[in-house]
Structure 1
Amino acid sequence: MITLTTNVQAGITGFENPTIRFRKQPLNLQTLFVHSHTSMRIISADNSYPKFGIAKGDWLLIDSALQALATDLVLFEYYGESHIARWNVLCQHVVASGKEWDELHLIGVITVSIHHFRQPSLLPWHSDLTDIDLHQLIVTQEHSTLLCRAAGVSMLPYIWDRDILILERHLTPENDDVIVLSLNNDLVVKRINLHTKTLYSDNSSFKPYPITQDDYTRLHGVVRYSLRLHRPMPL
């Protein structure tokens, strides 16, 4: 898998010649995001949390050994049900409500969330990340998969500014897929309506863009996953 150093604009405005300035580097998602195989695992989100950009069924990379910082997202159980909250907000809520800490079970800190734009493969059972490989789970075609960054807010709530997109160049777009394409002088990420040849955003504040015969377009691939780093790390 390779990475693009340019950003993919979530809006229609961008920069000139976006496909020229890029550099290829081999990447491995397991090496990049898994720093402790024995204390980390992947859990599917039981509910949606749009304010965190997490949908029901998204994969959450959890580290049970990390000391939670104030603004960390944490996964915890309360009377058998799992929930997600910011650590400082959870602490304030426990103190204000008079709840006992032993009623809560902290599962771990969420370091990365992985959103699916197509039906994902079945998440294998595992006790930790010595049992499965994150890279092999996500990347199926090594030499035609790109990793790039989004820019802008037009694809909220599940693609945020600076999220990482897993772009698969071998896939043929299906109706309503999220795609990356060159549009005139811009590189954009949008959903595509194949019937009406219209690009549209998940953020309803942005108007659809009907493609005409005067537009220059070039497809670069289908976005199957987006990754959000909830614990910042250098890339």
Structure 2
Amino acid sequence: MKIIPIKVQAGITGFESPAAEYKELGLSLDQLIISHPNATFIGLASGDSMQGLGIFDGDILIVDRSVEPKHFDVIVANYNGEFVCKILDMQRRQLVSASRAFPPVSILEADTFQLEGVVISAVRMFKQNVALTRCMR
């Protein structure tokens, strides 16, 4: 992967072509964001309940199954047959959204709950990737 060594601020009207000078780090994007490749999967965020934490509809979630979840970690879980991305409140046994528009959901004994992994990163998609969307269906 080639890295362009510039800092860009919003509102900049122009700058010298960064293509003239770049560094090759010899790292892939996988190596930069995935620590445990055999325990990591990606998911596609859906909905707006996690926008308060910067996770938007269509973002790519990097989820690591090997990370031990901690109180208030962002997790992906199978909750009553539906995959959800929520904040895990371990003390109250609740799944919490990052928006006040969505009330916390208690994890009851009668519920089916399977923690799938901890969200370690999210990648914002500014344009829809048709191939990724197709593969995630």
Matched, 1:187 2:83: yes
Gaps of 5+ in 1: 1-33, 44-74, 77-82, 91-100, 109-126
Cα deviation digits, residues 53-92 of structure 1 (max 9, x gap) = xxxxxxxxxxxxxxxxxxxxxx63xxxxxx325xxxx7xx
CA distance in 2, matches of 1:107, 1:186: 47
Alignment partner of 1:152 is 2:69: no
Rounded Cα–Cα distance in structure 1 between residues aligned with 2:16 and 2:57:
29
Residue 138 (str. 1) matches residue 41 (str. 2): no
Distance in 1, Cα, partners of 2:102 & 2:17: 38
Of 116, 121, 124, 1:228 maps to 124
Question: Does the 8 Å CA contact 2:58/2:125 hold for their aligned counterparts?
Answer: no
TM-score, normalisation: structure 1: 0.48
Q: Which is richer in strand?
A: 1
Partner of 2:10: 84
User: What is the alpha-carbon distance in structure 2 between the residues aligned to residue 205 and residue 147 of structure 1?
Assistant: 26
CA drift of 1:222 comes to 0.4
Q: State the distance in 1 between where 2:122 and 2:4 align.
A: 18
RMSD between superposed Cα atoms in Å: 2.4
CA contact (8 A) 2:72 2:89 kept: yes
Percent identical across equivalent pairs?
29
Determine if the alignment matches structure 1 residue 215 to structure 2 residue 111: yes
How far apart, in 2, do the equivalents of 1:132 and 1:105 lie? Answer: 26
**TM-score of the superposed pair, with normalisation by structure 2:** 0.79
User: By how many angstroms is 1:107 displaced?
Assistant: 8.1
Q: Following TM superposition, by how much is the alpha carbon of 1:203 offset from its aligned partner in structure 2, in angstroms?
A: 1.5
Give the Å deviation of 1:145.
0.4
Structure 2 stretches of 5 or more lacking a match? 133-137
Aligned length in residues: 126
